[in-house]
Copies of this chain bind each other. A is one copy, B any other.
Amino acid sequence: MKVGETYYRSIWEDTNAPVRQRGVHIIDQQQLPHRFATATLATLADAADAIASMRVRGAPLIGITAAYGMAFAACVDSSDTALSHAAQVLMATRPTAVNLAWAVQQVSRHLATLPPAFRGEAAWTYAARLADDDVAQNSAIGEHGLPLIAGRDRVVNILTHCNAGWLAAVDWGTALAPIYRAHDAGCRVHVWVDETRPRNQGLLTSWELAQHGVPHTVIVDNAGGQLMRDGHVDLCIVGADRVAANGDVANKIGTYLKALAAKDNGIPFFVAVPDGTFDAAMPDGRAIHIEERHGDEIRKMRGLTATGEVAEIDVLPADRAVANPAFDITPARLVTGFITPRGVVAPGAA
């Protein structure tokens, strides 16, 4: 999608260098929405750190970043031992999104079939293929989601939680793909953007939508229920970090509360996901490991000072106990349908 007038993906190769010496560029999402900055990753440690520190975030994007992390590793040491170590390092960065483990396993399995001498270059090719495939899948999600929005002769109000836009994927995004499609097709859409504490990924969603010219309004996470009661929400679309075999959804903390409100008000609640997010090995949501992140995400807040500098302030004393689960489980019974690259499917049928 575009930033200003320039087309960007959220991750792209530095094609000025030969493949085995390449880095990948990312948009540093810790700086957004306050500052647009790119950064370069060139080593396994770079990739792991970018994922753990959330300079890249979003289930699809951390999968792709991990795939490139495997490529960095394979160009340094392509032995089975080294690649197995690299896979472990990457998979330890964040536990909840299945895409990460999925991408690492895809690369690992592919490389295992090749002699070590070919693995470095092959890993690059494979990572690039996963990135392109992510774009294609999300584009297809956009197409399949479009009919859920189109065809109404008025503004369609869509609520979304967290950021499941192109910043969270490689392009298009998952939850936002149908919204971009609808907007581009001339539908009048308006998006309610949940702030998404504690990391305020809603501000990334607002930034994305503003760059693309999609009308939207930022609200605190507390507000969506009342907006639904008041008839101001036509449908909800969110992304997911992992979908269990029975249709239970792990997604950003707070998703469950919005799904409850949607159900209580008869509003359709859709989850947009690429293939890699479905985890057939996980029978239901109870088995999904929910990441507990550092309490400073709640205690501190980042923003711009009056003089335009990015600064962090303490909103809560350091000695105060906090709990910070990063995801919650939305039971399948609250999900109207999954918007997938293969079409819209009911929970349990995906």
Which residues of A (211-259) have their CB < 8 Å from a CB of B? 215-227, 229, 252-254, 256-258
A224: chain B residues within 8 A (beta carbon): 257
Question: Smallest Cβ distance from A169 to chain B, in angstroms?
Answer: 22
> Does B218 lie within 8 Å of A221, measured CB to CB?
no
> Does A222 lie within 8 Å of B253, measured CB to CB?
yes
Residue of B whose beta carbon sits closest to that of A217: B321
Question: Smallest Cβ distance from A150 to chain B, in angstroms?
Answer: 23
Whole-angstrom CA separation of A327 from B221 in the bound complex: 13
> Does A253 lie within 8 Å of B313, measured CB to CB?
no
A313: chain B residues within 8 A (beta carbon): 301-305, 311, 313
Residue of B whose beta carbon sits closest to that of A253: B222
Question: Is A109 at the interface (CB under 8 A from chain B)?
Answer: no
Question: Is A33 at the interface (CB under 8 A from chain B)?
Answer: yes
Whole-angstrom CA separation of A260 from B210 in the bound complex: 32
> Does B218 lie within 8 Å of A316, measured CB to CB?
yes
Question: Is A343 at the interface (CB under 8 A from chain B)?
Answer: no
Question: Smallest Cβ distance from A84 to chain B, in angstroms?
Answer: 33
User: Per a CB cutoff under 8 Å, which of B218, B254, B316 touches A33?
Assistant: B316
> Does A206 lie within 8 Å of B316, measured CB to CB?
yes
Whole-angstrom CA separation of A225 from B260 in the bound complex: 10
> Does A223 lie within 8 Å of B254, measured CB to CB?
yes
Stretch binding the partner chain, chosen from A6-14, A70-78, A178-186, A191-199: A191-199
Question: Is A325 at the interface (CB under 8 A from chain B)?
Answer: yes
Question: Is A320 at the interface (CB under 8 A from chain B)?
Answer: yes
Residue of B whose beta carbon sits closest to that of A299: B218
Write out, one digit per residue, whether chain A residues 297-333 have a CB within 8 A of any chain B CB (1) or not (0). Answer: 0101111111000011111110011111101110000
- Counting chain B CB atoms within 10 Å of each CB, the highest count among A226, A227, A253, A312 belongs to A226
Question: Is A264 at the interface (CB under 8 A from chain B)?
Answer: yes
Question: Is A200 at the interface (CB under 8 A from chain B)?
Answer: yes
Known: A225-B328, A322-B218. Contact between A315 and B298, CB under 8 A? no
Q: Which 9 A-B pairs have the closest CB atoms?
A: A222-B254, A303-B313, A226-B328, A197-B220, A260-B260, A303-B315, A257-B257, A225-B256, A222-B253
